[in-house]
């Protein structure tokens, strides 16, 4: 199954339903269900900013469906969706629109860049 690595706290914000669009600097043709993996390194500033103390890193923690990709053409479009992606335009101009997010019991895993294949059973 495909997986996508995200830094904490952004993976946790998706699992909580607070973040519905994942920003990336690259586009993808992939659509469908994928696993949410937490990178080994977290964004410590963002963890504090969103009120977390510590979050699991280096695990598959959930799954979601990528249903569409929105390309932000300008800063105004980007700003209008801030409540859905919770980030600035430095995170990228491609918004991966997520649905059917589900938390799963954490599974240790080594991540990778872009979408990657997780071969183990869930």
pLDDT one-digit tens code per residue, 8-37: 999 999 999 999 999 999 999 999 999 999
Q: In whole numbers, what is the pLDDT of the chain averaged over residues?
A: 94
Report the alpha-carbon distance of residue 113 to residue 94 in Å, rounded. 16
Q: What is the mean pLDDT of residues 62-90?
A: 92
Question: In terms of Cα–Cα distance, which of 34, 121, 2, 42 is closest to 13?
Answer: 42
How far, in Å, are 64, 86, 97 from residue 20 at the CA level?
10, 9, 6
The pTM (predicted TM-score) of the whole model is: 0.93
CA angle, residues 63, 96, 48, in degrees to nearest 5: 75
Tell me the domains of the chain and their CATH numbers. 2-105 (2.30.130.30)
Higher pLDDT, 89 or 43: 43
């Amino acid at each position: 199954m495909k997986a996508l690595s995200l830094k904490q706290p952004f993976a946790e914000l998706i699992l909580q339903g607070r973040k519905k669009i994942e920003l990336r600097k690259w586009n993808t043709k992939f659509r469908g269900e994928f696993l949410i993996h937490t990178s080994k390194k977290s964004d410590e500033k963002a963890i504090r900013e969103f009120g977390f103390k510590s979050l699991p890193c280096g695990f598959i923690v959930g799954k979601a469906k990528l249903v569409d990709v929105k390309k932000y053409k300008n800063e105004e479009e980007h700003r209008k969706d801030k409540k859905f992606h919770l980030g600035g335009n430095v995170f990228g101009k491609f918004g991966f629109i997520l649905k059917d997010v589900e938390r799963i019991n954490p599974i240790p895993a080594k991540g990778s860049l872009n979408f990657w294949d997780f071969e183990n059973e869930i």
